[in-house]
Amino acid sequence: MKRMTAGLRKCGMLVIALSFSALAMAQQKPQVVILATGGTIAGAGADATNSATYQAAKVPVDKLIAGIPQLNDIASVRGEQVFQVASESLRNDNLLTLGKRVSELAKRDDVDGIVITHGTDTTEETAYFLNLVVHTDKPIVVVASMRPGTAMSADGTLNLFNAVSVAGNKESRSRGVLVVMNDEINSARDVSKMINIRPDAFKSPWGALGMIVEGKSYWFRRLDKRHTNASEFDIDKIKSLPLVEIAYAGGNVNDTAYRAFAQAGAKAIIHAGPGNGSVAGPLVPVLQDIHKQGIQIIRSSHVNAGGFVLRNAEQPDDKYDWIVAHDLNPQKARILASVALATTNNTKELQRIFWQY
């Protein structure tokens, strides 16, 4: 009887020791929160051959996490469903809600990194917004997929695994908001969706920051523009975003969209022009008139692979008091203008901001 009692005590002590060991190991893992917003990564198609025809935003975050048990090997993961929408339907209010939640989590001691699952249509816009307004050096990673999880060669599972790996990696700190897809780590500031039907859709004209191979990150460069902790913008102080619209200009352009946006109350209009943000002759007096109404005119380029707009080239921007978007594409120029106009409407200050961010 005594031997049995002693044996039970030893077993009990072993169980307790193993429990403490398991707890210690769990505490050593990075604590990563996955904020889900919907998109293709949470989508489902009717058939495994449907890689481009499907319904987005169908799978909740708990099922996304449960579908990748290997996440437990690299991090302690928990999920939150912030929205469940296709990303083309996201509004400024959604950006503010998401940004404030990311900021709250980043301040917590029990959070080492944050992953946001997102639809690809506006991934670059949401990621750039967070890059501008969330003050933290903790990794914030936006991840998406080009194919739903029901498709052959679905990319979402590996993308999410890689995103959690990057978010939990201390080497990812202080690099700004990151976009992880197709084994690449790109800066939220630079990356854009270049094609809509392939898993290698997201590219930066200036190159990736790094890449992931079998869960390990390899880094090659850093972002030199201002972001996160170095940003003058703070999500905790932003209550609303001014209306900024994009007017696309090509051959045979007219002034209909520009005048309509001005009448609708836009505080700035992004001119998405060809080449160097070129402005057709008949549009020049129209844009001058609109600017006299207090509406900022920002010249950008709709060139896909890195439109670089030079000030006072093509148009005398100093004379007209216009702004150039530097190398930001029209949709990112809209995001930066919205954030900046929440604090200033001074043209020179706005141009400084476009150079620095």
3-state secondary structure of 75: coil
Whether the Cβ atoms of residue 71 and residue 65 lie closer than 8 Å to each other? yes
Distance CA 329, CA 327 (A): 6
Selected catalytic residue, list 37, 40, 123, 150: 40
Pairing of strands 113-117, 31-38: parallel
Residue 156 vs residues 55, 146, 264: alpha-carbon distances, Å: 15, 8, 39
What number of residues does the chain have?
Answer: 357
Closest to 98 in 3D by CA, of 126, 65, 78? 126
Question: Which H or E element spans position 21?
Answer: helix 2-28
Whether the Cβ atoms of residue 152 and residue 158 lie closer than 8 Å to each other? no
Closest to 132 in 3D by CA, of 337, 327, 298, 310? 337
Per the annotation, the verdict on 40 as an active-site residue is yes
What amino acid positions are annotated as catalytic residues?
Answer: 40
